[in-house]
Chains A and B, each alone.
Chain A
Amino acid sequence: MDALATCALRLGDDSLILGQRLGEWCGHAPALEVDLSLANCALDLIGQATHFLGLAGELEGKGRDADALAFRRDVMDFTNCLLVEQKNGDFAQTIARQFLFSHFQELHLAALAASKHERFAAIAAKAVKEVTYHSKLASDWVIRLGDGTDESKTRMIAGLDWMWRFADEMFVMDEADAALGVDKAALKPAWDQRIDAVLAEATLERPSPRRAITGGRAGHHSEQLGHLLTEMQFLQRAYPGATW
Chain B
Amino acid sequence: MSDSQKEWPLWEVFVRGKGGLSHRHVGSVHAVDAKMAIEHARDTYTRRMEGVSLWVLPSAQITASDPGEAAALFEPAEDKVYRHPTFYKIPDGITHI
Q: Are A and B associated in one complex?
A: yes
Within 8 A of A (CB), among B1-53: 8, 29-32, 35-36, 39-40, 43-44, 47
How far, in whole Å, are A37 and B43 apart by their CA atoms in the complex? 5
Contact present for B29 and A33 (CB under 8 Å): yes
Q: Give the distance in Å from the alpha carbon of A40 to the alpha carbon of B8 in the complex.
A: 21
Using A31-B30, A32-B30, A33-B31 as known contacts, say yes or no to A40 and B47 having CB atoms under 8 A apart: yes
Contact yes or no, B40 A37, CB < 8 A:
yes
Contact digits for A135-147, partner B, Cβ 8 Å, 1 yes 0 no: 0010010001000
- Whether the Cβ atoms of A40 and B39 lie closer than 8 Å is no
Q: Which residues of B contact A213 (CB under 8 A)?
A: none
User: Which of A33, A36, A140, A144 has its CB near the most chain B CB atoms (within 10 A)?
Assistant: A33
> In chain A, residues 189-221, which have Cβ atoms closer than 8 Å to a Cβ of chain B?
none
Contacts of B35 in A (CB 8 A): 140
Main SS at interface, chain A: helix
Q: How far is the CB of A8 from chain B (nearest CB, A)?
A: 27
Cβ–Cβ < 8 Å partners of B32 in chain A: 144
Closest to A37 in B: B43
Cβ of B31: which chain A residues have Cβ within 8 Å of it?
33
Within the complex, the shortest CB–CB distance from B11 to chain A, in Å, comes to 10
- What is the number of residues of chain A that contact chain B, defined by CB distance less than 8 Å? 10
Shortest A11–chain B CB gap in Å is 24
The answer for the CA separation of A144 and B32 in the assembled complex, in Å, is 10
- A:9-45 near B, CB below 8 Å: 31-34, 36-37, 40
Q: Chain A residue with minimal CB distance to B47?
A: A40
CB-defined contacts of B29 to chain A, threshold 8 Å: 33
Distance of A32 Cα from B35 Cα, bound (Å): 17
Binary flags per residue of A142-173, CB closer than 8 Å to B gives 1, else 0: 00100000000000000000000000000000
Contact A37 B39 (CB under 8 A): yes
Q: Is the CB of A36 within 8 A of B36?
A: no
Give the contacting residue for B43; candidates A36, A140, A144; CB below 8 A: A36
Of chain B, the residue at the smallest CB distance from A136 is B39
Complex: how many Å from CA A37 to CA B35? 14
B43 to chain A, nearest CB (A): 4
Q: How far is the CA of A32 from the CA of B44 in the complex (A)?
A: 9
CA distance A112 to B36 in the complex (A): 31
Query: With A and B bound together, what is the CA distance between A33 and B30 in angstroms?
Result: 7
Query: Are A31 and B8 in contact, with the CB atoms below 8 A?
Result: yes
Q: Which partner residue on chain B sits nearest A30 by CB separation?
A: B8
Q: What separation, in Å, do the CA atoms of A36 and B39 have in the docked complex? A: 11
Q: Contacts of A32 on B, CB cut-off 8 Å?
A: 30
Instruction: Determine the residue in chain B with the shortest Cβ distance to A39.
Output: B43
Q: Which A33-62 residues have C-beta < 8 A from chain B?
A: 33-34, 36-37, 40
- Chain A residues whose CB sits within 8 angstroms of the CB of B47 once the complex forms: 36, 40
Contacts of A137 in B (CB 8 A): 39
State A173–B32 Cα separation when bound (angstroms).
Answer: 42
Contacts of A31 in B (CB 8 A): 8, 30
CB pairs A–B below 8 angstroms (7 shown): A32-B30, A33-B29, A33-B43, A36-B40, A37-B39, A40-B47, A140-B36
Q: Which residues of B contact A (CB under 8 A)?
A: 8, 29-32, 35-36, 39-40, 43-44, 47
3 shortest interchain CB distances as A-B pairs: A33-B40, A37-B43, A36-B43
